[in-house]
Amino acid sequence: MTVNEEQTTINIAPGDLLREVGALNSDGYRLVQIGCTDVGGAYEVNYSFDKGYQFRNLRLTVEPETEIPSISDIYWGAFVYENELHDLFGITVTGINIDFKGTFYRTDEKYPFSVTRRGGDRCQDV
Amino acid sequence: MPGRIVVPFGPQHPVLPEPIHIDLVLEDELVVDAVPSIGYIHRGLEQLVQKREYPEYVYVAERICGICSFMHALCYCQGIEHIMGIEVPDRSRYLRTIWSEYSRLHSHLLWLGLFADAMGFENLFMRSWQLRESVLDISEDTTGGRIIQSTCKVGGVRRDIGQDKLDEIHRGLDSFEEDCRDLGKVFLNDETVKYRLKGLGVLSKDEAYTLGSAGPTLRGSGVASDHRETGYAAYGELGYKAVVETAGDCYARCAVRVRELYSSIDIIRRAIEGMPEGPIDVKVKGAPDGEYFSRVEQPRGEVVHYLLGNGTKHLARARIRTPTFANIPALVKMLPGAQLADVPIVVLSIDPCISCTER
Amino acid sequence: MGLFEMTKTVLQNLVRGPATRRYPAVPARTTPITRGHVVFDPATCRSCALCSKRCPCVAIHLDKEAKVWEINRMRCIACGDCVESCPFGSLAMEQDYLPPTEEHVVDSYTITYVKPERPAKKPAEEGVDA
Amino acid sequence: MAFLKRSPWILHYDASSCNGCDIEVLACLTPLYDVERFGIINTGNPKHADILLITGGVNSQNRPVVRNLYEQMPEPKVVIAVGACAATGGIFRECYNIAGGIDKVIPVDVYVPGCAARPEQIIDGVVAALGILEEKRERMAGGARMKEEAGETT
Amino acid sequence: MNRIMGAVIFLILAPLLGGLIAGIDRKITARMQGRVGPPILQPFYDVGKLFEKEKVVVTTAQNFYILAYLIFIALSGALFFAGGDLLLIIFAFTLAHVFLVLGAYAAHSPYSHIGAERELIQVMAYEPVIILTAVGFYMVTGSFYVVDMATTTIPVILYLPGVFLGLAAILTLKLRKSPFDISTSHHAHQEIVKGVTTEFSGSTLGQIEIAHWYENIFLLGIVYLFFAWNPVIGIIAVAVTYAAEIFVDNVTARVRWQAALKSGWLAAALGIANLAILSYMVYGGA
Amino acid sequence: MQTLLFLILFPILVACLLLFVKRTTSRYAVVVLSALAIGGASIYLLMRYAFEGAVYFAAPSETASLAMVAIEMALALFIIYMGAKFRNYLAIGLAVVQAALVVYLEMTFSENLHAINNLFIDQFSIIMALIIGIIGSLIAVYAVRYMETYHHLHPEVRDRQGTFFFVVFAFIAAMFGLVFSNNLLWIFFFWEVTTITSFLLIGYAETEEATKNAFLALVMNLLGGVAFIAAIIYLVAAGPASGGIDLAAVLASGDAAIILIPAVLIGFAGITKAALMPFSSWLLGAMVAPTPVSALLHSSTMVKAGVYILVRFAPVFAGTLAGVSVGLVGAVTFVVASAIAISQSNAKLVLAYSTIANLGLIAACAGVGTHMLVWAAILLIIFHAVAKSLLFLGTGAVENRIESRDIEDMEGLIVRMPKMAVMMFIGIAGMFLAPFGMLISKWAAIEAFVQVPFGIVFVAILAYGSAVTVFFWAKWMGKLITVIRGVEQIEKGFFEEPWIPLYIITGLVIAAAFLFPVISSMLIEPYVLVIYGVTAGLAQTNVAIMLLMMALLLFLPLSFALFRKSAKRLPAYMGGRPATADLHFEGSLGMTREAQTRNYYLTTCFGEARLFRPGAAVCIILILASWAFAGVAL
Ligand code: SF4
Ligand code: SF4
Ligand code: SF4
Ligand code: SF4
Ligand code: SF4
Ligand code: SF4
Ligand code: SF4
Ligand code: SF4
């Protein structure tokens, strides 16, 4: 009964996002997470899905000013991730069903994870 | 129709163990709107990877949360090991499994207690936590810590459990299981408990699935999804089948957790019986380079550690998606239509752990 | 009948008496591997600074010049990493817990280790920056 | 008479702890530690509380909350910071969203070290706090008496 | 003269006895939960402590209502032990509770407000049973006066078992015990924080506690009346009833207000059925 | 007798005069003066006749009776005209039937239509007269200023204040006539006049809703009127055995079997007028009328005509199954209306439902009709009249000030309009708390019901009903005394004059509680004694205790001074969430929200939609049962 887990990552263009996600949705995938990495000057946004432990990851690479569309119409629960994306990285996500408008985490410093946006790393004094 | 009651629920509130705030809008006691807001525990510890070398980050990972502490460490270590291609010794995989399941027992008993507390069933709360103490005793005996085990490390585990101790644990399991079953009976059979739980916060199978729920919240709605089925650590050898309930209400979620108590005890028993001899760790050299989405089944559901190494001792990125985070949408959906008195029950039914949610 | 399912437990509790560990009348339960607090042996420490480098909380501060080894008790999470990392066995983990205090506690020790007569090879670690 | 020492009611707040210290605070209430032996009750309400037990370091969101809770407690009152986080921020001290220990926001009377602090340590902490509480009460009673006397003379 | 003595003795002893019972209650509860529990005198320490604390209010008016609550609770208890008219006592008792509720309203805080509403639901739930109890006693003893009920030689319980059960059911409500502790609970963890008492602190909270002691003694007094023909049995019955309440508290979850109301009213229905049979026997037989 | 005639005729004069007074100040003067006269006369009545028992007066008959028939016909024509204008054919039909019955009666039995004494007065009449004379005229005084403000706030309503006050005083006259008449035909006449006045006043605003509700009231009251006249025909037809149209004779006639049927019919008329279920809807609809109308007609006086007649017939009902059925209509109405009141947030509707409930309770007492119960019923009439009028007038005053009659909007009235709040507080306390009057009566009722067969049913209903009552009154009280912040006092600048009647009525509520032993022993007990040969009352010690409680209540506020200084003020507990003093807190999604505290309305349990139909159904069955029982008794 042990199932082997597979992970695949596909790079997609921002324009294809909604189509791809929609396709996964109709395929019966569930949303696992949306996460982001600052790769210096650009952001890698990972949309991860799962079906029977098979892990599919859609990867979007966007410029700082690019707005990305919300997938919360397809996956209602995506709003938590998308708000997080905005609050930690400063990425604008348009059309979130429950938009906290930057009040999701309310961090001390804005966009703490976005080196690009903050222009360098700062540390708390010890 | 007369107006509505607006209540700030939390961040400090006796039935919320952790700070979370909900704007509750009520009609009499019927919840018509509930908007949560979080951020009270957000620490930003993902960023600590830039300041801690990857082996030391385990200590941070453990403190993502004090309840499934071990599981976070495990998930993190497995991720690093996968990236670095490390095969850990068999014995360490078994030990990891045992500690994992003890964590689950500890977590579920804790949750059952809080859940009983939310129903105003004080005695049941006390009883659950009393049983939980014996789990903590074992944790302290084998790892040196009640809550934070600090025993998992990249490349294996830090401590072995001697054969004597293993035997002792094994012997203790029977009476422990009996106590758990007595406890479970109260949760599953008592009329007042049923009155509070049945039909409350119903999440259909479809909803649970598309909302991206995880863990007992998902399984309580009839979706068989439990990462242990992928056979990480020693689950491959021991085998595991997800516990599933179909009603999708608070009672079902409670039942899933109660039954998982039994399945955890069973796994521990078999892990001890099948414990291989051998070393408990391997030496780790170098630094991770690559990425991996490491997943582990925590008491609250699947946790995802996304780790990205760049060949230095400091990871480039750690991103932790915790089960509670995935269950928040379900919570937002479940609250309207509940009674005020049921708000704590519904909230607790996803077993919210804000600590890891906000990291 | 599912009413009063808890009865059995209640009766058991009444008969068996309280399960309470009567701390402080009875000392706290500890085990040989309980992680209580870190003790430092100034006589053996060779100021290699490995401990302070590994400590995930930056709780240890070492001043090689002044030969002072300090531990901030309010930061230490008793993970024991320093103990494991110390190549000279100068650190140990004791079982008993630190008492509560009204002030922050920083324990400071003057290292009394003296190099043995025979000139030893410089340990490599000394090159590592703190 | 000092009833205060025999009936300290606590209010527990989690100001960004990892849950480790939290659950140990709760564990104190449960049968194995049973702090009700000392008359300790965990009230969920600042207006009824004498001791504020805080776990975790503060972040900016929690600052006003902690202050608000502290202010809502009637005098005399003491604050106990439980765990390394509450004392200094502990392992999370360097996180961008952690301001440090509780003493950055409100005066702390007792620090309980540890990560996670053990129930026994927490009990010790409360006992230590009782002494301070009693002192504060005497000072308060003294203050009131002095005020009265001053009122009489003027 | 005797009756005034009764009232005076009640006013003095009831808080002591009530506090003691509360202490024993907490001890037994703890034992049922496998704990040691607080000292028997803990309730007195608590109240003593409360009187040592600073006075804190949201609005000054709130404390006034609590004083009135205390006075009228004590008054109704005193009237009871003076052997007065049970119906009048019940009305004074209701009046007292209305004051408690008003205090909670006056504070204008979300939680005390909800507590107040729930307290009113509680009043609504138990009131029918209490009234029917008085009526039942009248039907059996032919008098509304407590003094006659207490000195009766009729084993009232045999005539009013249904009423007694009804009363036992709502006693849970009145003692603020699970499953019906909806408006405020001694146990800390409730969705409405401390309900009615949320905004009260210091000596005012102490007054509420003392009023509660008065109230408990008064209620146990009513329980006693069912067995009054034999004082020994009476006292045993009171103890057993109270122990049963503690037991029920420990083996049930708290229910929602709907169920509390329904239970209270069903308990009253039980009482009515009892009285209907009784009245059939009286009038039908005659 | 002159006083009686004065009380009936003088208001008519005033009414006619007021038709022509246009200026508010002069109208005010006229109304105040006549109020003084009427009130004075009623008090004189009290002093003159209180110790005399029942006194009968032959009084003018032929001409008066003829005039009455003429007016009745005119009124019928008016109804037909109005019915035609607004296409309400049911009203026309009922008016025609009624007129036809009157004509039939006059034609067929003209020789039997003589009462020996047309007028009379006894203690019960005195009580009613006091209520009408004092409370009624105070309401009239209050109405002058109220109506001015009303038209100020509602410019869309045609200003017909002349007519308004004409009708009000006509109504007062009719009420006096009703309680003083010993001639059933006269009673019927005055009865009809109150129906018409009520119709006119409800429709005052001339909106569609007002007109609709006016007709509703009209139709239901006419239905009662038909029953009334039918009863008279039956009595007359039954010949001398029944006592004919002489009220005293009818009540005295020993032949219960014969008069039970008319009693039940008149009881039915009483049920419609007292708006018991299923006829309660007219009273609720009547709440569209300006508030003084509600106070005057629909709480303190007119509906009392319904229960007045029931209480008069109580001795007839006593001990009969028909009586028990009528009583049960009242009891069921009591519990159902009280329960529905929980679900209402409109202050006037709450008052209306509570009125219906209390009338139900009175009817329950009257239906069962033992001496204790009649005693309680009369006490209820008194206390209800004072407390309810205070509440209606208070609500009206508040409404004119805050422009809402929603209880939720009265939150914090203690801060905004402290005097008003205290008065309403007392009014509400008067409705349900010991040691105020309503509670005393309820208590007496319980003690009395226990002692009769089937009493347990009533006791049970009463037990539930009073539990429910506590809920809706206490929550309203709570709203009033909630101390809110950040609002200003808005009491000043309000017309001062309307306050005087309010002060007086507040005084009356308290006085009634203090004086009830006197009232009881002076007026009610003798009345009951005459009818039943035994009398009721509360035990001395209990009375003393009640008075003690009352004194305590009055004394307690003094302790307020105690709390003024010492305490430290802190904002309310808001879950630790920082909040402002006026309960605004920082909510989710970055919005600032206000913590709101609304009362519970428990609509799912106690909603109108849920309870009204079953309640009405039960009552219809009970009414039919009462007829059946009466028929069987024959
Ligand atoms: S020393 Fe401080 S500022 Fe510099 S990199 Fe390290 S943490 Fe950042
Ligand atoms: S949105 Fe709601 S709260 Fe705001 S004004 Fe409108 S009804 Fe009132
Ligand atoms: S619910 Fe848990 S965390 Fe909250 S007050 Fe109760 S015991 Fe403490
Ligand atoms: S889910 Fe809860 S218990 Fe588990 S790691 Fe997260 S915070 Fe901790
Ligand atoms: S035990 Fe851990 S936290 Fe403490 S000093 Fe050592 S390494 Fe640092
Ligand atoms: S690691 Fe050991 S020897 Fe090196 S500095 Fe630390 S204590 Fe001293
Ligand atoms: S001190 Fe340790 S256990 Fe306690 S909250 Fe902080 S990290 Fe968690
Ligand atoms: S809102 Fe007020 S003022 Fe306007 S019509 Fe309605 S009751 Fe009159």
Model pLDDT for residues F375-426, shown as the tens digit of each residue: 888 888 888 888 888 888 888 888 777 777 787 778 777 777 877 888 888 8
Q: Where are the domains of chain E?
A: 2-283
Residues 6+ apart with CB under 8 A from E76: E89, E90, E92, E93, E96, E218
Instruction: Count CA atoms within 13 Å of residue D89 on its CB side.
Output: 24
Q: How far is CA F97 from CA F80, F101, F184, in A?
A: 11, 6, 19
Residues enclosing ligand 5, CB less than 6 A? C 38, 55, 57, 59-60, 71, 76-82
| Helix ranges, E142-256 (H) | 146-150, 156-159, 161-174, 202-225, 231-251
Residues 6+ apart with CB under 8 A from B132: B105, B106, B109, B110, B113, D30
**The pLDDT of residue B270 is above 70:** yes
F20 close contact with D: CB closer than 8 A: no
Mean pLDDT of D50-61: 83
Residues 6+ apart with CB under 8 A from B54: B80, B154, B287, B288, B309, B313, B314, B315
Answer whether F570 sits within 8 Å of D47, measured CB to CB.
yes
Mean pLDDT of B145-174: 83
Token pair belonging to B348: 């607790």
Q: Is D18 in the pocket of ligand 7 (CB under 6 A)?
A: yes
Reported confidence tier of residue F316, pLDDT bands at 50, 70, 90 = confident
Contact F91, F222 (CB under 8 A): yes
C6 vs E31, E36, E250: nearest CB: E250
3-class DSSP state for residue F261? Answer: helix
Reported confidence tier of residue C129, pLDDT bands at 50, 70, 90 = very low
Ligand 6: atom nearest CA of C49 is 5
Give the integer Cα–Cα distance in Å for C96 and C91: 15
Residues 6+ apart with CB under 8 A from F20: F162
- Note the ligand closest to the C-alpha atom of C85: 6
**The pLDDT of residue A122 is above 50:** no
Positive/negative CA dihedral, B251, B257, B260, B262: negative
Output the pLDDT for position F48.
78
Burial class from Cβ neighbours inside 10 Å (0-12, 13-18, 19+) for residue F255 reads: exposed
- Give the mutation target among C39, C51, C111 for probing the ligand 6 site: most ligand atoms within 8 A of CB: C51
Answer whether D23 sits within 8 Å of B110, measured CB to CB.
yes
In a domain, C66, yes or no: yes
Intervals of chain E under pLDDT 70: 1-2, 186-189, 282-286
A126 close contact with D: CB closer than 8 A: yes
Q: How far is the CA of C90 from the centre of ligand 6 (A)?
A: 6
Q: Which fold has domain A6-111?
A: Beta Polymerase; domain 2 (3.30.460)
Q: Which of A56, A60, A68 is nearest to A7 (CA)?
A: A56
Output the pLDDT for position B102.
87
Token pair belonging to E192: 């409405």
Give the integer Cα–Cα distance in Å for F194 and F201: 10
Residue with tokens 């407000």: E113
Q: Which of F203, F432, F473 is nearest to F350 (CA)?
A: F473
Percent of chain F predicted with pLDDT > 70 = 90
Mutual angle of helices C7-16 and B122-143, in 10-degree steps? 60
Q: Where are the domains of chain A?
A: 6-111
Q: Which of B198, B196, B194, B224 is nearest to B209 (CA)?
A: B224
3+ Cβ–Cβ pairs closer than 8 Å linking B and F: yes
Per the model's pLDDT, the better-predicted residue between C130 and F604 turns out to be F604
**The pLDDT of residue F59 is above 50:** yes
Burial class from Cβ neighbours inside 10 Å (0-12, 13-18, 19+) for residue B33 reads: middle
3-class DSSP state for residue A62? Answer: strand
3-class DSSP state for residue E222? Answer: helix
Mean pLDDT of F485-509: 71
Output the pLDDT for position C128.
43
Model pLDDT for residues B191-203, shown as the tens digit of each residue: 888 888 888 888 8
Q: Where are the domains of chain D?
A: 9-153
**The pLDDT of residue C126 is above 50:** no
**The pLDDT of residue F491 is above 70:** no
Burial class from Cβ neighbours inside 10 Å (0-12, 13-18, 19+) for residue F584 reads: middle
Ligand 4: atom nearest CA of B354 is 7
Output the pLDDT for position D153.
45
Give the integer Cα–Cα distance in Å for D108 and D128: 12
* CATH number for position C54: 3.30.70.3270
Contact B143, B99 (CB under 8 A): yes
Strands F119-121 and F55-57: antiparallel
Give the distance from CA B115 to its chain's centroid.
Answer: 15
Look over chain B and give the mean of its residue pLDDT values, rounded to a whole number. 82
Mean pLDDT of D35-60: 83
Give the distance from CA B305 to its chain's centroid.
Answer: 14
* CATH number for the domain running over D9-153: 3.40.50.12280
Comparing B319-333, E263-277, F50-64, F179-193, the range with the smallest average pLDDT is F50-64
Per the model's pLDDT, the better-predicted residue between F588 and F172 turns out to be F172
Q: How far apart are the first and last CA of chain D?
A: 29
Strands A54-62 and A43-51: antiparallel
Residue with tokens 């009545």: F45
Specify the residue with its C-alpha closest to ligand 7, atom 5.
Answer: D17
Q: Where are the domains of chain F?
A: 1-312, 318-490+500-516+579-634
Q: How far is the CA of B62 from the centre of ligand 7 (A)?
A: 10
Ligand 4: atom nearest CA of B299 is 4
**The pLDDT of residue F495 is above 60:** no
Mean pLDDT of F179-193: 83
Backbone region of residue A110 per phi and psi (left: phi > 0; alpha: psi in -120 to 50; beta: other values): beta
**The pLDDT of residue F111 is above 80:** no
Strands C60-63 and B301-310: unpaired
Output the pLDDT for position A123.
38
- Phi and psi at residue B338, in whole multiples of 5°? -85, 170
Answer whether B230 sits within 8 Å of A2, measured CB to CB.
yes
**The pLDDT of residue D4 is above 80:** no
DSSP string, D63-109: HHHHHHHHHHSPSS-EEEEEHHHHHH-GGGTTSTT--BSGGGTS--S
Number of domains in chain C: 1
Per-range mean pLDDT, top range of A65-74, B132-141, F98-107, F276-285: B132-141
Reported confidence tier of residue F133, pLDDT bands at 50, 70, 90 = confident
Per-range mean pLDDT, top range of A87-96, D56-65, E122-131, F113-122: E122-131
Token pair belonging to D91: 């392992």
Reported confidence tier of residue B64, pLDDT bands at 50, 70, 90 = confident
Contact D34, D73 (CB under 8 A): no
- Establish whether the linkage from the previous residue to F278 is cis, with ω within 30° of 0: yes
Per the model's pLDDT, the better-predicted residue between B183 and F587 turns out to be B183
Token pair belonging to D144: 């009131």
Q: How far is the CA of F241 from the centre of ligand 7 (A)?
A: 97
Output the pLDDT for position D154.
42
Give all chains having 3 or more CB-to-CB distances under 8 Å with chain D: A, B, C, E, F
B185 vs C5, C10, C31: nearest CB: C5
Output the pLDDT for position E269.
84
3-class DSSP state for residue F181? Answer: strand
Burial class from Cβ neighbours inside 10 Å (0-12, 13-18, 19+) for residue D146 reads: exposed
- Which residues span the domain enclosing C105? 37-116
Give the integer Cα–Cα distance in Å for E215 and F284: 40
- Phi and psi at residue C91, in whole multiples of 5°? -115, 145
E55 close contact with B: CB closer than 8 A: no
Mean pLDDT of B204-224: 83
Model pLDDT for residues B310-342, shown as the tens digit of each residue: 888 788 788 888 888 888 888 888 888 888 888
Residue with tokens 């009013």: E160
Mean pLDDT of A19-28: 82
Token pair belonging to E197: 């008492």
Q: How far is CA D51 from CA D41, D54, D130, E202, F578, in A?
A: 10, 10, 9, 14, 20
Output the pLDDT for position D93.
77
| Closest Cα in chain F, distance from residue B24 (Å) | 9
Specify the residue with its C-alpha closest to ligand 4, atom 4.
Answer: B68
Instruction: Count CA atoms within 13 Å of residue B47 on its CB side.
Output: 23
Reported confidence tier of residue A126, pLDDT bands at 50, 70, 90 = very low
* Contacts B317 to A, Cβ<8 Å: 37-38
- Secondary structure letter of residue E256 according to DSSP: P
Q: What are the start-end ranges of the E strands in E103-144?
A: none
- Give the mutation target among C58, C71, C81, C108 for probing the ligand 5 site: most ligand atoms within 8 A of CB: C81
In a domain, C26, yes or no: no
Contact B237, B291 (CB under 8 A): no
* Contacts C35 to D, Cβ<8 Å: none
